[in-house]
Structure 1
Amino acid sequence: MSWRQLEKLAKAYRRKPTPTAAAALDRRQRRASEFTETLTNHFVRNHAALENASVAFRFSTDGVYPDWACEYNAEEQVFELNLVGVLAFQEECEQALDTMQTLEGRENFSVYRLHAFLAEMRKLPPQLLVFLLLFHEKARILEVTQAERRRGARVAVDPDEDTYMRLLWAFKELESVVRVLDGSDLRAAQSITWFEADWIIGDK
């Protein structure tokens, strides 16, 4: 499976979202099942709670792809991976630097921190963003940010903080994967300068 071919076709759809472009990406995805099988066996079923889950590409419906990048279908126990949505997320990360300078982007600490983190994630190539967004959805399903609520505490949920915490968990998972696969330091390799401790205290 050539990742470059998948990325090229997904970008073509982003530039011009026609049924023809969608059909071309759908065809290529059907020939790339080994990629989703690898994600399933090594990065989803490695968790006991997801031992029956799998990963599959999301195909277009009537020539249209959804906006989201990765979504879990609980009924079928499938993490649906939408490459067009991954590229949309990459664009959101690219725009985060500008958003941080606006009143909306500086609305409160949680909002500003989330956009600052997204701005750092813009340094990741699309192929790594696939892993990041799969892990982000995995974090939602496993409720990794809800430890206090599982213990019975009543905790108000800030959606921006929750999104940030899931993305941070996903990024740390990605760091571990990269370290195991090729022995490299993801932050150093991608010039990511995010230090979680600097972003703990703030007025919401």
Structure 2
Amino acid sequence: MTLLVPWYAVKREMISRTLWNIEGKMQTSAEALRRELATIRTGHATPALIDHIKVDYAGVPTPLNQIAGISAPEARLIVIQPWDRGSIKSIEKAILKSDLALNPASNGSVIRLNIPPLTEERRQELTRVVRKKVEERRIVIRSLRREVVDDLKRLEKNKDISQDEHKRALDQLQKLTDSFIANAEQIGRDKEAELMEV
């Protein structure tokens, strides 16, 4: 015996799946913003500040966190312990090439990075960078919303969903969009506050 699924259940499933997919994409976008902002230097030491730096290891660009242990034992100190001591020079070179303005100090087995306090001018500059990255994420979220709006219009035009279902889905989509934009703005405000701490 075959079970028949009512047509309205199929429509609801179609809309739910669409909204679920877009929520996942918006969540990914928020997580990407968090990762991007973690790489912006504040006056505090954190392993996330440098773990993304690519090091030329055996001729292959490799993230620093894959070839060394990274820790922040003090508020203004990062310690890097390479698993292969032969990679120390490559790590130092990669840190110097990064835009973090940090000077590595090595004793042959461990690299230390002292994190100097930020100047007021640098804080303002980094705040502008944070705001720009948040705005880029807002644009990404809105473009994701636009894609779903177009899909929903197509479904309504093809009579796959009713006008009421279309309106309900748009309302849910707008709530999702507003929520993720507010989340991105909060992430940005938190980073700005962190930058302004002296």
Normalized against structure 2, the TM-score is what? 0.22
Tell me which of the two structures has the higher relative contact order, counting C-alpha pairs closer than 8 angstroms and 6 or more residues apart: 2
| Structure with greater strand percent | 2
Q: Which has the larger radius of gyration?
A: 2
